[in-house]
A and B are shown apart, each in its own frame.
Chain A
Amino acid sequence: GAGVSQSPSNKVTEKGKDVELRCDPISGHTALYWYRQRLGQGLEFLIYFQGNSAPDKSGLPSDRFSAERTGESVSTLTIQRTQQEDSAVYLCASSTSRSGGSQETQYFGPGTRLLVL
């Protein structure tokens, strides 16, 4: 009965370095989402995975951001050549996908707080 888990909890990196963030969704959840939350703001959609379908990458802010997911399991979000503006909390969520997919709620992980110095 584990929830969504994310690692690391906190990450401090230097500008220009690459970082990799991990998300373990709830078992059986076919949909997985990544969001970015800057301090004091709402959530920005980054990317959505649904089963083996092509992901919706429309929210990725630049080509420095990429994400992968193998099947319906773990996902990693990679930020290359990090910038100070990338500092934020990165949240992962998963959900089931019922028929039509329009009524499911999302279950969130605790997030990874990224600080780029």
Chain B
Amino acid sequence: SQQGEEDPQALSIQEGENATMNCSYKTSINNLQWYRQNSGRGLVHLILIRSNEREKHSGRLRVTLDTSKKSSSLLITASRAADTASYFCALRRVDSSYKLIFGSGTRLLVRP
């Protein structure tokens, strides 16, 4: 599959705990992006990591990228109930300057 495959499909944690989601892929990428979706509606861009980067931070988010293993992870630290959402990785392939290929997502539930 050219798309990102995410695991776990679903994750339930207690507020305050950390949440880790993983994305694996099979193609060569230009960059990898993570998006969040609340209630099955519009997606919100969280963070972009380029193929020559290994780690990136944004607030409580930490993204890593290992191009040799073709995998990325999204870590949300000190989770909050408001973090409950679906999280998608999206790949921008080397041979496409505009098309994003989305994974199937991880549904995160943060219990208060």
B42 to A50, Cβ gap below 8 A?
Answer: no
A62 on the B face (CB < 8 A): no
Residues on A with beta carbons closer than 8 Å to the beta carbon of B45: 105-107
The segment from B14-22, B56-64, B68-76, B94-102 that touches chain A is B94-102
A4: Cβ under 8 A from any B Cβ: yes
B102 near A43: Cβ-Cβ < 8 Å? yes
Q: Mark B30-69, 1 if CB is under 8 A from A, else 0.
A: 1101010000111111001010000000000000000000
Closest 9 CB pairs of A and B: A108-B42, A43-B102, A42-B102, A42-B104, A101-B97, A105-B45, A108-B43, A110-B42, A110-B41
> Which residues of chain A have a CB within 8 Å of any CB of chain B?
4, 31, 33, 35, 37, 39, 41-45, 48, 50, 56, 89, 91, 93, 97, 100-111, 113
Query: Which B residues fall within an 8 A CB radius of A?
Result: 3, 30-31, 33, 35, 40-45, 48, 50, 88, 90, 92, 97-105
